[in-house]
Amino acid sequence: MSEDLSGQIAIVVGASSGMGRATALALSQAGANVMAAARRLDRLEELRSESNGSIEVLQTDATRATDVERLVAETLAKFGRVDVLVYATGTNIPERALEALTEETWNDMVATNLTGAFLCTKAVLPSMRTQQGGLIVYLSSAAVQMPDVSGVAYQATKHGMTGLAHGTRVEEKANGIRTSVIFPGLCDTEILGKRPIPTPRRLLDHSLDPGDVAEAVLFIARLHPRAVVPEMQLLPSRL
């Protein structure tokens, strides 16, 4: 039988749009207390109003250690624990080809897609160790298994997230801490607007919906703590 999420405490980083937003709503609807974090406060306030106040929000830049530490500290102050962390923040750039990539744009990609995930992981681990349990879910990309033209910075950072997830799980499993990394295929989210060439509507019509990814997160979160899904690939069935 699946675990009841009622009363569970979840932090969703990158909750202002797309998969993160859908995940925050899904966790809340499943009974969890959710702290939704992102840089765009106006989007977070819209999310809070849509949830009828069942989601708390905090403006957070995941690339800044002080912001992340404040996020976890305020969550602990309000709820006393963190049971689930979902890292859904991610970005890409139109100028993604090697000939166009610069040291600055490379560093920006690493900061958002990978360093932010590390900072959030580092921040929640002490409380999870104390309570001897916790789940961290990282939203990655199917480009990890299927190299494409999403850009070397994007693919490198998403590969790095896999190493972060698996390394953390191995180091922390004795403390009851589990990690899962989800690799979604084409999903109709705002990040597609950063592609050099717009995605054809015929492909978007068959792509994943952010809610599909949220359902995958729920499945993993509802598993008994004795079980873990280290990796999950989630692809559009007709692409």
Query: Mind telling me the catalytic residues?
Result: 154
Q: What CA–CA distance (Å, rounded) separates 85 from 221?
A: 10
Amino acid at 179: T
Q: Which region holds residue 86: left if phi is over 0, alpha if psi is between -120 and 50, else beta? A: beta
Strands in 84-87's sheet, in edge-to-edge order, are 55-59, 33-38, 9-13, 84-87, 134-139, 177-184, 231-234
End-to-end CA distance of the chain: 32
For 41-79, the DSSP string reads HHHHHHHHHHTTT-EEEEE--TT-HHHHHHHHHHHHHHH
Contact 42, 65 (CB under 8 A): no
Largest CA distance in the chain: 52
**75's tokens:** 């969550």
